[in-house]
Amino acid sequence: MIRKFKPSDTDHLMNIWDKAEALAHPFLPAEIRAQVRKDIRDIYLPNAEVWVIEDQGAPVGFIAMIDREIGGLFLDPSCHGKGLGRQLVDHIVTLKGPLTVEVFKDNQIGVPFYQRYGFEITGEGKFDASGDETFKMAMPAV
């Protein structure tokens, strides 16, 4: 089931973020990860459009949207490969149409996921906090 975020989800989603982020972004220095974690908890979860996916009644992942840009998509690693990330993106595409995302070039989970979904690299950028290079990706217009 996919549903809107509730403030009572915060601790559970942060636990998911901790596990998923460690796999997706092992290249980020600890101090950058700590700041991003604080920003997720204090800024993004309360202010972005966040959708939660549940499995057997418990949250197992979430997607945070800023207009039509995916600000973050994180799944409990035990749920990787089960199609839940695709379900979240499908849900948002139904609501908003073609999406964009910016992903670390070194994200060995995120880049292939978005490419399999049909996102194309449209440019490059840098993550301000660390200087790490990113890909700007977009779904083709339909």
* 136 class by beta-carbon count within 10 Å (0-12 exposed, 13-18 middle, 19+ buried): middle
Average pLDDT over residues 22-29: 90
Locate all alpha helices (DSSP H) within the chain, ordered by sequence. 10-24, 30-39, 45-47, 84-96, 110-117
Report the pLDDT value the prediction gives residue 60, as an integer from 0 to 100: 98
pTM of the model: 0.93
CATH assignment at residue 131: 3.40.630.30
Report the pLDDT value the prediction gives residue 128, as an integer from 0 to 100: 85
State the total domains in the chain.
1
pLDDT at 46 over 90: yes
Structural domain for 32, as ranges: 2-138
DSSP 8-state code for residue 43: I
Q: Is 114 helix (H, G, I), strand (E, B) or coil?
A: helix
